């Protein structure tokens, strides 16, 4: 019962936040060139949430006609394919998957590295080797969590019986009910789970020190027509990332409000994410090579061709 209630609360917060900010942002300004933004509904988007709370988009004459929040990067990618989103923030995996499916987007900025963790039921899983032959849950193929699961198998010489797919909120509910023993989730779901008695067994930084996190992206068509708007968004998010690093407690208050979680869980999540706006082409290339080696993408793309400076 407790897990179902928590799941319902999280789902309600997601829906309400999306509706409220859609209504609010749609009326901020009408003189600027319109843009439809998409971001993930987790701690990775903390800098974006701070930008939104300060109405910095409207103050900078950025006309957001639509703001959509997504439970996973792959849901966001589908929205870009439909034309519902023209720019936003997503983890590198889903961005590469967009490109691999023929969606014309460019990486224009960076927000963080890492930002994931392996969560387990401590009564059934004591150490990593206990996961051999067990199922692990992630938000699905193409997500960063999925690729982290593949990396854990490689690094610890284990084999999951299955990498199962479920939405993050549903995975959290399953962990709390005891129906799921192990899962890889984006922040802050691991910290929320930990506050309820579950255990964070591995941080992504322990398994994959140079694991890419979230990046800013935009469709090529929008970039060609509106480079000035893209530059403003990059600058706003970059400043906000710096604010998160300087004032993590205040950032945690913002995140807690948006996600409907405790400030303590929000702060722990923020402090374990490696915030950085410096794009490392080799880091992106290594990630592409890893995806290609696992047969997830059709082509070993040149990282330099996927990014652009504007």
pTM above threshold 0.85: yes
Per-residue pLDDT reduced to its tens digit, 80-96: 999 999 999 999 999 99
Helical H segments across 38-123, by residue range: 46-53, 56-59, 73-82, 92-100
Same domain, yes or no: 168 and 246? no
Return the percentage of the chain with pLDDT > 90, whole number: 88
Same domain, yes or no: 108 and 124? no
Per-residue pLDDT reduced to its tens digit, 138-157: 999 999 999 999 999 999 99
Same domain, yes or no: 257 and 192? no
Same domain, yes or no: 69 and 198? no
Instruction: Assign 32 a pLDDT band (cuts: 50, 70, 90).
Output: low
The domain that holds 281 is classified in CATH as: 3.40.190.10
pLDDT for position 217 = 98
Asked if the model's pLDDT at residue 202 lies above 80, the reply is: yes
Q: Give the whole-angstrom CA distance, residue 87 versus residue 85.
A: 6
Domain that holds residue 296: 2-112+212-306
Same domain, yes or no: 133 and 146? yes
Same domain, yes or no: 107 and 10? yes
Asked if the model's pLDDT at residue 17 lies above 60, the reply is: no
Same domain, yes or no: 106 and 251? yes
pLDDT for position 34 = 85
SS3 category, 130: helix
Same domain, yes or no: 84 and 164? no
pLDDT for position 18 = 45
Instruction: Assign 12 a pLDDT band (cuts: 50, 70, 90).
Output: very low
Q: How many domains does the chain have?
A: 2
With a CB cutoff of 8 Å and minimum separation 6, the contacts of 186 are 40, 42, 43, 44, 91, 115, 116, 139, 144, 145, 168
Same domain, yes or no: 104 and 145? no
Same domain, yes or no: 177 and 296? no
Same domain, yes or no: 99 and 65? yes
* Mean pLDDT score of the chain: 91
Q: 207, 228, 247 — which closes off a domain? A: 207
Instruction: Assign 243 a pLDDT band (cuts: 50, 70, 90).
Output: very high
Same domain, yes or no: 105 and 120? no
Mean of the pLDDT values across residues 54-68?
A: 94
């Amino acid at each position: 019962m407790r897990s179902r209630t928590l799941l319902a609360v999280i789902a309600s917060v997601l829906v309400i936040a999306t509706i409220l900010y859609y209504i609010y942002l749609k009326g901020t300004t009408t003189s600027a060139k319109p843009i439809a933004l998409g971001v993930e509904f987790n701690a990775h988007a903390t800098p974006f949430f701070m930008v939104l709370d300060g109405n910095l988009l409207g103050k900078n004459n950025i006309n957001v006609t639509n703001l959509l929040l997504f439970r996973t990067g792959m849901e966001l990618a589908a929205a870009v394919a439909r034309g519902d989103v023209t720019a936003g923030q997503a983890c590198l995996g889903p961005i590469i998957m967009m490109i691999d499916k023929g969606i014309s987007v460019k990486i224009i900025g960076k927000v963080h590295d890492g930002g994931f963790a392996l969560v387990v039921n401590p009564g059934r899983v004591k150490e990593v080797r206990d996961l051999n032959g067990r199922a692990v849950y992630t938000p699905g193929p193409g997500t960063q969590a999925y690729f982290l699961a593949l990396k854990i198998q490689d690094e610890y010489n284990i084999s999951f019986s299955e990498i199962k797919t479920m939405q993050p909120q549903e995975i959290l509910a399953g962990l709390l009910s005891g129906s799921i023993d192990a899962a890889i989730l984006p922040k802050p779901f691991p910290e929320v789970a930990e506050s309820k008695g579950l255990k964070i067994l591995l941080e992504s930084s322990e398994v994959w020190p140079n694991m890419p996190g979230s990046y800013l992206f935009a469709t090529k068509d929008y970039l060609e027509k509106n480079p000035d708007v893209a530059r403003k968004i990059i600058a706003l998010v970059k400043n906000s990332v710096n604010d998160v690093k300087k004032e993590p407690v205040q950032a945690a208050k913002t995140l807690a409000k948006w996600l409907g979680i405790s400030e303590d869980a929000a702060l722990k999540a923020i402090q374990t994410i490696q915030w950085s706006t410096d794009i490392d082409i080799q880091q992106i290339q290594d990630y592409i090579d890893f995806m290609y080696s696992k047969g997830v993408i059709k082509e070993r793309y040149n990282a330099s061709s996927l990014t652009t400076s504007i």
